[in-house]
Structure 1
C-alpha cells in the first residue's frame, strides 16, 4: 500500500433552492450539524486531510468549514491546503478524477467535497454499487489507493462507506 487515502464527501443538507442561485445555496441547521458529525467521525477514525479539493459552491464550503472546525479541535491537527475549485462544482466523474490526478504526490490524505451524482458515482467505482443508493447528504467514504494520485482511476483502490 502506498499510504494514500482519498476521502469522498457529499456536502451536508442544503436549503431548497427556491429563489436562490444553486451555487449560493446554504446549509440548513441540520446540515451544519451533519458537517460537524463528519468531522467527529473522521477524527475518531484517524483521518486528517492534508489537502482538500472543495467545490466552490457555498454549501460545500460550509460543509468543509464544519468538518475542519471539529478536526481543528484535535491537538495534532494541521490545517490542510484547500483548493476551492470551480470545476469541481460542475464536474462529472472523469473531470473530478482528472482534478485528483493533479494533486501533489506528497499529499497523503485528500478530501474531496462535492455534489451528487458525481461523488456517489465516483465512490461506487471504489466501494461498490451500494454507494449509488446510500450516498445521502454528508456521506463520506474512504478509499485506500494502490497508486499515486497521478494514476487515480476507478478501481485503483479499495473503499468503504464510513457512515
Structure 2
C-alpha cells in the first residue's frame, strides 16, 4: 500500500519589521497563494487525512486557507519542532504518523521543505521550491520507515 506525503512550503509572509519571525503573518499575496494551493489540491483530489504543521503563524494561516478549499478539514498536529527542523527531524515527525493515515500533508519552511522534496527526487535536481510550493512523495513504505530512497517525489506547483 502506498502512502502519500504532500509537502507544502508556507505561502508568502510579510517581511520581518520587528518582533518575532515565528509570528510573521501572511501577506495579501500569500493569502492568495494559499487559497490557490488549496484549490489545486482539491482539483487533483489530493485530500490529506492528517497534517503536520509548524507552529509559526504563517504556516498556520497557510493551512487554514488551504483547508477552506477541501471538502473536509483534516486533523492536524501543530509541531513547534517543525519550525526550525531539518530533514531528519521532519522525517522523525512523519514516522510518528498513525498507520491508518493514507495522505499526510506537511506544512513547513524552506530550506527544509525544498531539501525534503529534493531528497526524494533521485533523478532530477530541484531547482526551486517557491512559497506555497507543492510536491507529492509517493512512498513505498509505512510512515515509520519514510526516508530518502523509499519513494519518489514530483512537483505539483
Could you say which residue in structure 2 is the equivalent of 1:155? 149
4+ residue segments displaced more than 4 Å:
none
Greater shift, 3-12 or 122-131, is seen at: 122-131
Is residue 2–residue 141 contact of structure 2 (8 Å, CA) maintained in 1? no
- Provide the rounded CA distance (Å) in 1 between the counterparts of 2:140 and 2:152: 8
Could you say which residue in structure 2 is the equivalent of 1:108? 102
- Report the 3-state secondary structure (helix = DSSP H, G, I; strand = E; otherwise coil) of the residue aligned with 2:110: coil
Q: Which has the higher helix share?
A: 1
- Report the 3-state secondary structure (helix = DSSP H, G, I; strand = E; otherwise coil) of the residue aligned with 2:26: coil
Query: How far 1:158 moved relative to its partner?
Result: 1.0
- Report the 3-state secondary structure (helix = DSSP H, G, I; strand = E; otherwise coil) of the residue aligned with 2:131: coil
Consecutive unaligned residues of structure 1, counting only runs of 5 or more, are: 72-76
What's the CA shift string for 1:109-139, capped at 9, x where partnerless? 00000000000001001135543x3101000
- Report the 3-state secondary structure (helix = DSSP H, G, I; strand = E; otherwise coil) of the residue aligned with 2:120: helix
Is 1:135 the equivalent of 2:129?
Answer: yes
- Provide the rounded CA distance (Å) in 2 between the counterparts of 1:103 and 1:80: 13
- Provide the rounded CA distance (Å) in 2 between the counterparts of 1:78 and 1:66: 13
- Provide the rounded CA distance (Å) in 2 between the counterparts of 1:112 and 1:152: 13
- Provide the rounded CA distance (Å) in 1 between the counterparts of 2:110 and 2:130: 9
Q: Taking structure 2 as the reference length, what is the TM-score of the superposition?
A: 0.96
Query: How far 1:46 moved relative to its partner?
Result: 1.1
Give the length in aligned residue pairs: 156
Could you say which residue in structure 2 is the equivalent of 1:19? 18
Query: How far 1:13 moved relative to its partner?
Result: 0.3
Q: Taking structure 1 as the reference length, what is the TM-score of the superposition?
A: 0.93
Is 1:99 the equivalent of 2:93?
Answer: yes
What's the CA shift string for 1:132-152, capped at 9, x where partnerless? x31010001001100000000
- Provide the rounded CA distance (Å) in 2 between the counterparts of 1:63 and 1:105: 25
Could you say which residue in structure 1 is the equivalent of 2:29? 30
Query: How far 1:70 moved relative to its partner?
Result: 1.3
